[in-house]
Amino acid sequence: MDKVTVMRDIDELHDTYCADCLVIKQLRKERGKPGAHRFCIEACSVGEKLQFLGEELLKVYSK
């Protein structure tokens, strides 16, 4: 994967799923921003995909 493709995939995932996520809005009210962020990192399937793409982006930059 090249840098542009990875960045495009990240933007597409975020715009499609994260920008208007009702779960994250509710969790921010209940747990605050750090608690909601923790949910995205640990439990959200989209968060897992974003982490994978982030790792791919790091591979591109380390070459």
Confidence (pTM)? 0.85
Q: State the pLDDT confidence band at 61, using cuts at 50, 70 and 90.
A: confident
SS (H, E, C) the chain: CCHHHHHHHHHHHHHHHHCCCHHHHHHHHHHHHHHHHHHHHHCCHHHHHHHHHHHHHHHHHHC
Domain map (residue ranges) of the chain: 1-60
CB 51 within 8 A of CB 41: yes
Residues 9-59 pLDDT 10s = 999 999 999 999 999 999 999 999 999 999 999 999 999 999 999 999 999
What is the predicted pLDDT for the residue at 62? Answer: 79
Q: State the pLDDT confidence band at 63, using cuts at 50, 70 and 90.
A: low
